[in-house]
């Protein structure tokens, strides 16, 4: 039994993305899907590694009730924006 036959016999709620795969004519393209997933992963935000001195400086200012914007502005003004140790 072919994929289209199975899809035609299924209820619309059961189809989900399966029907969309069949509409493209070429079906599911694993290589293209992997490339797109890799691009999304590369563009995702990642946690920055901060030097211990920078981390303690930020924590100190936050304890003094500085806003994150104030801390960021001060770091930029003082040239302390490097995140790598």
Output the six-digit token pair for 1: 């039994």
Which residue ranges make up each domain of the chain? 3-43, 47-85
Is 81 in contact with 51 (CB distance < 8 Å)? no
pTM summary value: 0.42
Each residue's pLDDT tens digit in the chain (85 positions)? 666 677 666 656 565 666 666 666 677 888 999 999 999 988 887 777 788 888 899 999 999 999 999 999 999 898 876 555 4
Output the six-digit token pair for 21: 């795969």
d(CA 10, CA 83): 53
Q: What's the chain's length in residues?
A: 85
């Amino acid at each position: 039994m072919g994929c289209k036959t199975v899809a035609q016999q299924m209820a619309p709620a059961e189809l989900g993305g399966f029907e969309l795969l069949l509409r493209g004519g070429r079906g599911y393209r694993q290589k293209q899907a992997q490339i797109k997933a890799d691009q999304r992963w590369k563009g995702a935000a990642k946690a920055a590694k901060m030097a211990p001195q920078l981390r303690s400086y930020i924590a100190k200012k936050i304890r003094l009730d500085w806003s994150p914007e104030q801390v960021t502005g001060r770091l930029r003004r003082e040239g302390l924006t490097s995140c790598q140790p």
